[in-house]
C-alpha cells in the first residue's frame, strides 16, 4: 500500500540496555508516493529530466527506511550520484560536489523529522539574492525569480529574527520546481521548495515564501509530535507569517490577506458542516487514514485564530513574541504536543494563570482544541478596512437588485487594486453563483478584458465564475487557460466546476487535447473527476467550426471519490 509495511529488526540477545548499536539496511527504491520523476516535456526548459521528492506527511517511507513520524528527529547524511549536467540539491546544512566522480555529498547537522528530508535534481542554476540566500531555478525562469525575490528574503528573515530569535539553519535557499509539484510550497529546512507557477502572482509569492520562512521556527525547529495536532506547526506558522507581514508591509495588508483566508475558512465550513470532526484542532486520526487528508483550512486558520487569541490575552503582541522566543529556545529540535505549548504559555504569564484564562467560559482552551465548528473568536481586522471596504462596496453594487451596472462599473478601477482585493471580490461572486444572467453579462463586459492581463490567481477565479454561470461567450478563455496550465492548483478547480455543471463534454474535449502535457499523477486525478457519474453528453459548440468531442478512453477509473476529500472548487485557496 501507499503506507508501506513495518520493518521489524531482531536485535542480538547479548545487547545490553542502552548499548549503542548500528543497523545497516540495504534497499532499493525506484518509485513511490514521495518520488516524482518528470520527463523533459514536463519541465519549463524541455531540455532535461527532473526529479523531486515530497515527504509530507508520510511519503518518505517510500524514499528511504525511516521512523516516519514527526515525533522522531535525527540528523542525516546522503551520497548522491547523478549524470553530468544534473544539479542535485537536498535539505541539508552542508554539501560538497566531487566533479570527477559526479557525486554529491550532503549532511544535515541538526535533527529533523523524516518528512523534512528532501531531494531535487534537474537543469537548475542559481543566483545569490541575499547574504545567506540564493534562488535555484531552470535557466529560463531564473531572471524572473531574481527580479521577484532579490533582497526580499533577507528582509523577511531579519524581521522574523527580530520577533522570534536567531535563524538556526544557516542558509535559506529557494528552489522553484516545475508545475507538476503537487502543492504550492514546502518548508524543507535550508531549501524551500516552491512551485514556479506562483511567480506571476506577486502577493501570493510574498505570502507563501514568508509562510515557509516562519516554518523555520514553527514546524522545523519545534515540530508537532503527532499528525493529529498539525495546527501546532501550521497555526503558529500562520500567526508568525502575519506578524512578519505586519512588520514589513503594514497591518492593512495583513488584515486584507487574513480576511481573504477567513472567507475561505467559512466557505469550507459551509461545505463540510459545523459538526464535522475534521474541524477540530485535535482531530482524531483513524487507522489507515493518510494524515495529509486532515490538512485543511482549520489546521491553518482555526489554529491561527487560537494562537491570535492567546496573543490577545497578553495585551501586547510584543509580549507574546517574547513568549514564543522562549518557547522556541526551550523546545528547538524537539517535538511537542499542545499541552507543552499551553503549559509553557501559562508558566510564562503567571498572572494569566492566576486569572484561570484557560477556563474562561465559552473560550476554554479545551474547547478551542476539541470543539467542532468555527473558531471561538476571530481577530479584529478593522485596520484593513481601507482595503476591504472597497471590496464590500463593489460586491454590494453588483449583487443588489435592481442592478445599476453603470454605477458598479464606474465605481472602481480593478487594475489599481491589490491582488488580494480582487480575489476577495471574485471569491464572493463565486459564493453567490449562479448569478442572474444580466449580472454575469455586465460583469464580463466590464472586467473580462481587464482580468485577461492579470495573474493566474485572479484569472482562475474569473473563469470559475464563467463556468459556474454557464456563460458561453467567455468559455473559450477557459479552454485557452487550460491549454497553458500544467499545475494542479490551476487545473483541478476548473475541471471540478466543469464536471459539476453542464459542461462535462467540453471538459472531456479540452482534457483530450491537453493530457499529454500533464504529469501522470495529475492526469489520473482529472480522469477520476471526469469519470464520476460519466454520462454521454452532447458536445458544446464553444468556437466556430468545433467538431464533436473525440472519442477517448478514461483509464484508471475509480468507483467513488477519494476518501472524504474536500472539493477544491469550494475552497478557492492555493496554499
Own/partner long-range contacts of 363-371 (Cβ < 8 Å, ≥24 apart): 363/309, 368/281, 368/306, 368/309, 369/280, 369/281, 369/282, 369/306, 369/338, 370/280, 370/281, 370/282, 371/280
Other residues' Cβ atoms within 10 Å of the Cβ of residue 41: 10
Task: Please confirm, yes or no, whether 212 is among the known catalytic residues.
Answer: yes
Contact between 420 and 208 under an 8 Å Cβ cutoff? The reply is no
The DSSP secondary-structure symbol of 62 reads G
| H helix intervals, 273-384 | 297, 303-313, 317-331, 338-348, 350-354, 365-370
Alpha-carbon 160 to chain mean position: 20
Our CA dihedral for 304, 306, 311, 315, rounded to 10 degrees, sits at 130
Q: Which of 117, 463, 163, 158 is nearest to 324 (CA)?
A: 163
Catalytic-labelled residue, pool 76, 239, 300, 308: 300
* Distance (Å, whole) CA 53 – CA 176: 13
> Which residues have C-beta within 8 Å of that of residue 536, sequence separation ≥ 6?
none
**Could you tell me if 124 and 234 are in contact, meaning their C-beta atoms sit under 8 angstroms apart?**
no
Question: Do β-strands 87-90 and 119-122 pair in parallel, antiparallel, or remain unpaired?
Answer: antiparallel
Alpha helical stretches, state H, 136-250: 142-149, 152-164, 202-215, 231-249
Annotated binding residue 215: yes
Query: In 3D, which of 202, 486, 491 has the Cα closest to residue 499?
Result: 491
Burial class (CB in 10 A: 0-12, 13-18, 19+), 268: buried
Residues 6+ apart with CB under 8 A from 27: 64, 65
The phi, psi pair for 57, rounded to 5°, reads -105, -35
* Residue 83: other Cβ atoms inside 10 A: 9
Distance CA 422, CA 446 (A): 14
> What's the farthest any 2 CA atoms get from each other in the chain?
87
Do the strands 103-113 and 73-81 form a parallel or antiparallel pair, or are they unpaired?
antiparallel
* 266 marked among binding-site residues: no
CA distance 101 to 104: 9
234 annotated among ligand-binding-site residues: yes
Element (H, E) at 179: none
For 99, phi then psi, to 5°, come to -60, -40
336 Cβ contact partners less than 8 Å away, ≥ 6 residues apart = 222, 223, 224, 225, 232
Question: Which of these is catalytic: 212, 228, 301, 509?
Answer: 212
Binding-site positions: 211, 215, 234
Catalytic residue IDs? 212, 300
Binding-site positions for Zn(2+): 211, 215, 234
Amino acid at each position: 500500500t501507499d503506507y508501506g509495511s513495518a520493518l521489524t529488526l531482531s536485535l542480538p540477545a547479548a545487547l545490553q540496555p542502552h548499548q549503542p548499536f548500528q543497523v545497516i539496511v540495504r534497499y532499493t527504491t525506484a518509485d513511490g508516493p514521495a518520488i516524482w520523476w518528470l520527463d523533459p516535456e514536463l519541465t519549463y526548459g524541455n531540455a532535461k529530466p527532473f526529479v523531486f521528492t515530497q515527504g509530507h506527511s508520510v511519503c518518505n517511507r517510500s524514499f528511504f527506511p525511516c521512523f516516519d513520524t514527526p515525533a522522531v528527529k535525527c540528523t542525516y547524511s546522503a551520497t548522491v550520484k547523478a549524470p553530468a549536467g544534473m544539479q542535485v540539491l537536498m535539505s541539508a546544512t552542508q554539501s560538497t560536489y566531487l566533479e570527477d566522480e559526479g557525486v554529491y555529498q550532503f549532511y544535515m547537522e541538526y535533527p529533523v523529522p523524516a518528512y523534512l528530508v528532501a531531494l531535487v535534481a534537474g537543469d537548475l542554476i542559481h543566483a545569490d539574492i541575499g547574504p545567506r540566500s540564493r534562488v535555484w531555478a531552470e535557466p529560463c525562469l531564473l531572471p524572473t525569480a531574481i527580479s521577484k525575490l532579490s533582497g526580499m528574503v533577507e528582509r523577511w528573515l531579519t524581521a522574523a529574527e527580530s520577533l522570534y530569535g536567531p535563524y538556526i539553519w544557516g542558509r535559506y535557499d529557494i528552489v522553484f520546481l516545475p508545475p507538476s509539484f503537487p502543492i504550492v510550497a514546502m518548508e524543507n529546512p535550508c531549501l524551500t521548495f516552491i512551485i514556479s507557477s506562483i511567480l506571476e502572482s506577486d502577493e501570493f509569492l510574498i505570502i507563501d515564501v514568508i509562510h515557509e520562512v516562519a516554518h523555520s521556527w514553527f514546524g522545523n525547529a519545534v515540530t508537532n509530535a503527532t499528525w493529529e495536532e498539525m495546527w501546532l506547526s501550521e497555526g503558529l506558522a500562520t500567526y508568525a507569517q502575519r506578524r512578519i507581514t505586519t512588520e514589513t508591509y503594514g497591518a492593512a495588508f495583513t488584515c486584507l490577506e487574513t480576511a481573504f483566508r477567513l472567507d475561505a475558512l467559512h466557505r469550507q465550513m459551509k461545505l463540510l458542516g459545523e459538526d464535522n470532526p475534521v474541524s477540530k484542532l485535535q482531530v482524531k486520526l483513524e487507522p489507515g487514514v493518510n494524515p495529509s487528508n486532515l490538512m485543511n483550512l482549520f489546521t491553518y486558520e482555526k489554529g491561527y485564530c487560537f494562537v491570535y487569541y492567546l496573543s490577545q490575552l497578553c495585551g501586547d503582541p510584543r509580549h507574546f513574541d517574547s513568549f514564543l522566543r522562549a518557547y522556541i529556545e526551550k523546545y528547538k529540535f524537539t517535538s511537542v504536543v499542545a499541552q507543552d505549548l499551553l503549559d509553557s504559555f501559562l508558566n510564562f504569564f503567571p498572572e494569566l494563570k492566576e486569572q484561570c484564562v484557560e477556563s474562561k467560559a465559552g473560550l476554554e482552551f479545551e474547547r478551542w482544541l476539541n470543539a467542532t465548528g468555527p473558531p471561538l473568536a476571530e481577530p479584529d481586522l478593522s485596520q484593513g478596512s481601507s482595503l476591504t471596504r472597497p471590496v464590500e462596496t463593489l460586491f454590494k453594487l453588483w449583487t443588489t437588485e435592481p442592478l445599476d451596472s453603470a454605477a458598479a462599473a464606474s465605481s472602481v478601477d480593478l487594475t489599481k487594486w491589490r491582488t488580494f482585493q480582487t480575489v476577495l471580490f471574485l471569491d464572493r461572486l463565486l459564493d453567490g453563483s449562479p448569478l442572474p444572467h444580466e449580472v454575469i453579462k455586465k460583469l464580463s463586459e466590464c472586467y473580462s478584458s481587464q482580468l485577461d492581463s492579470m495573474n493566474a490567481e485572479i484569472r482562475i477565479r474569473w473563469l470559475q465564475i464563467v463556468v459556474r454561470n454557464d456563460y458561453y461567450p467567455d468559455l473559450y478563455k477557459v479552454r485557452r487557460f487550460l491549454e497553458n496550465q500544467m499545475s494542479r492548483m490551476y487545473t483541478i478547480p476548473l475541471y471540478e466546476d466543469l464536471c459539476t455543471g453542464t459542461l462535462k463534454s467540453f471538459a472531456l474535449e479540452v482534457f483530450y487535447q491537453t493530457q499529454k502535457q500533464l504529469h501522470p499523477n495529475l492526469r489520473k486525478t482529472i480522469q477520476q473527476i471526469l469519470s464520476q457519474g460519466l454520462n454521454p453528453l452532447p458536445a458544446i459548440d464553444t468556437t466556430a467550426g468545433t467538431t464533436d468531442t473525440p472519442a477517448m478512453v478514461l483509464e484508471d477509473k475509480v468507483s467513488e471519490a477519494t476518501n472524504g476529500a474536500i472539493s477544491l472548487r469550494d475552497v478557492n485557496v492555493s496554499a
